[in-house]
Amino acid sequence: MNNRNSCYTYFKIVGDFDPDKVTKLLNLKPEKSWKIGDYRKNGTQYDFAHWEIGRCSEYDPIVDRQMISSISILYDKIDILNKIREENNVSFYLEVVPVVYANEPSPCLAPSLEVIDFCHITRTEIDIDLYLGD
């Protein structure tokens, strides 16, 4: 049977902050970012800033491995992340976006203690956006 399930994960910062300053502080280039007031494709303006890194789209039924892939680049940046959080009006998220199909093997979405520890130390929320395929 060909498994049609998929998942991607990434780490993001959202809120009222300057993404360029975050990029400098972390010394990491985001995969996606925007500032408050930047324009969306539909012409409306963003009312929050966004900074994203660590997108992992290589599906693994043990999704924790994808989560670790997304945050591992940040392990040595925990103090800087906490400083960013303390000095700005921001929230951190570990996004998990699985697409699952009926009658396919279900992915394991449980985070390991490694992921939970990182999220606890940095006050990162785990946001699971589950989609069901037809």
Tokens linked to 45? 């303006």
Residues 51-95 have pLDDT tens digits of: 999 999 999 999 999 999 999 999 999 999 999 999 999 999 999
Residues 84 and 66 sit within 8 Å (Cβ to Cβ)? no
Q: Could you tell me the residue ranges of all domains in the chain?
A: 6-132
Distance (Å, rounded) from C-alpha 95 to C-alpha 116?
13
Distance (Å, rounded) from C-alpha 102 to C-alpha 82?
40
Confidence bin at 2 (pLDDT 50/70/90)? low
Overall pTM > 0.85: yes
